[in-house]
Amino acid sequence: MIKSKLIAIDFDGTIVDDAYPAVGRAKFFAFETLKKLQADGHRLILWTYRHGKELEDAVNFCRENGVEFYAVNNSFEGENFNPEKASRKLNADIFIDDRNLGGFPGWGEVYKIINERIQFNIEEHGEHKSKKKKGWFGF
């Protein structure tokens, strides 16, 4: 049994191709993966720069594709965020974003990483591979 996680997910460039302020085309397997994660018991937060009408468009697009979020740009639905009392960082176990270190690996890989609790290898998936220099101590 997989332990339930709270997962914050970016919209533009992650769930859909980046076309901000418009809504881009859904990424391959994005909604299938999100629905599978929910079926596995995980709670999903839509975590995006969008606000106002653009945010409403994103939420509606996800809803039309079968995904309702646990919360939107908050740690939980109904959160009353006060910047005088707390940091804006969301309370989530996992953050999925196209701007991750190493880039976005794709939804199939994301599901494997979460489901199998494997480590993401930047060298395998990143756009830029750094050459390792062996120094005095071998690293």
Q: What is the pLDDT along the chain (139 residues), one digit of tens a residue?
A: 558 899 999 999 999 999 999 999 999 999 999 999 999 999 999 999 999 999 999 999 999 999 999 999 887 777 777 667 666 778 788 889 888 767 788 888 888 888 876 555 555 555 544 445 555 665 5
By residue range, what is the domain housing residue 50?
6-75+97-121
How far lies 82's CA from each of 7, 8, 85, 120, in Å? 22, 20, 6, 34
CATH of the domain at 59: 3.40.50.1000
Cβ contacts of 115 within 8 Å, gap of 6 or more: 2, 40
In a domain, 127, yes or no: no
Query: pTM score, two decimals?
Result: 0.76
In a domain, 86, yes or no: no
In a domain, 44, yes or no: yes
Nearest to 72 by CA among 98, 44, 91: 44
SS3 category, 113: helix
Report the number of distinct structural domains present in the chain. 1
In a domain, 84, yes or no: no
